Amino acid sequence: MENLVKKLEEQISFLQQEISQMSEELYSQQKEIKTLKQEILNLNKRINELNDGSDANIITDNQKPPHY
């Protein structure tokens, strides 16, 4: 009976350690996902700003370039 209790205690200890490691990894991944989402938002905002500003810089055939 003592062997069984000892074995169960070892298994519980092992499982607690595994859960702790998984929890730390999950937390790390959540932080990384949050950072990546923010970077995507910033890039999308920058792309939209560039697209909005590009219309003003288009030179039509009827206009002379500014250096003339």
12-26, pLDDT tens digit by residue? 999 999 999 999 999
What pLDDT, in 10s, does the model give residues 10-65?
999 999 999 999 999 999 999 999 999 999 999 999 999 999 986 555 555 666 66
Distance of CA 43 to the CA centre of its chain: 13
The first and second tokens of residue 2, run together, are 């003592």
> At 67, is the pLDDT very low, low, confident or very high (cuts 50, 70, 90)?
confident
Contacts of 50 (CB under 8 A, 6+ apart): none
The first and second tokens of residue 59, run together, are 């030179």
